[in-house]
Amino acid sequence: MSKEVPTRIFTPTEREGWRQQIYDIYARMRAKADKPYEIEYGGIPLTVFPNVYAPEFFDDSLWYANALQEIVGNKSLLEVGTGTGVIAVFCAMNGAQVVATDINPDAVKNAQTNAERHKLDVSVREGDVYNALKAGEKFDFIFWAHPFNNWDVPADDMLLRSGLDQGYESLRAYVAGAHDHLTSEGKLLLGTGDSADLPTIAEIAKDNGYALKLVREMDRPLEPGKEAQIKDLIYEFAPIL
């Protein structure tokens, strides 16, 4: 890694407490949405569907959206794991040509709804990582604000899969398959945090011929208005020459 940002070190007790805190947030997220509801997020109205990652619970989506606007500009972007579509919407509003995918069919409908309400030409597709793309379809940037948590338990529903990737199996597919969908100067990006398993992410990068290059970082509360802190990060997978 070009700039070392160490993984947060948890004692067993701290790790269990952190895990329970994440589960509690997702439980509140699930309880809030028994039907679609409206929020204002980053100054724009958005709809949040049930069973879809709700950005107002963590706030990292807004930081990623603002950062990606600057990084991508008016070039082409593939966003994997789009959720409500907030990052795709922000980037499209800034002139980017955006394709967004999600494995969760509810998220696909949610992102389509938000793109349409803002009259944006975003292609939203259902599929796991790259399998919704056409052969040879390429982008200037590929980005995923991935599920940070590499825990030894399975995610038993689509909502929890937005925060938990057992064994980083989906992340491994994301990195391994990227070269087929990047332009010659294209960049593979990852939104993550210091609570993620950064050493394993670095190993996945190396196994695929990349080194991690830190592009952006920001400290923030895990939840808006709460004391627990997290560091959000954007890495580029830079090819090892």
Does the pLDDT value for residue 6 go beyond 60? no
With cut-offs at 50, 70 and 90, classify the pLDDT of residue 58: confident
Question: What 8-state DSSP symbol labels residue 75?
Answer: S
**Domain boundaries defined on the chain:** 12-239
With cut-offs at 50, 70 and 90, classify the pLDDT of residue 18: confident
Does the pLDDT value for residue 9 go beyond 80? no
CB burial of residue 187 (10 Å; 0-12, 13-18, 19+)? buried
With cut-offs at 50, 70 and 90, classify the pLDDT of residue 5: low
Give the rounded distance of the alpha carbon of 18 from its chain centre.
Answer: 20
pTM > 0.85: yes or no = yes
CATH number of the 12-239 domain: 3.40.50.150
With cut-offs at 50, 70 and 90, classify the pLDDT of residue 2: very low
Query: Average pLDDT in the 180-200 region?
Result: 96
Interatomic CA distance for residues 118 and 84, integer angstroms: 13
Higher pLDDT, 114 or 14: 114
**Helix, strand counts (H, E) of the chain:** 7, 9
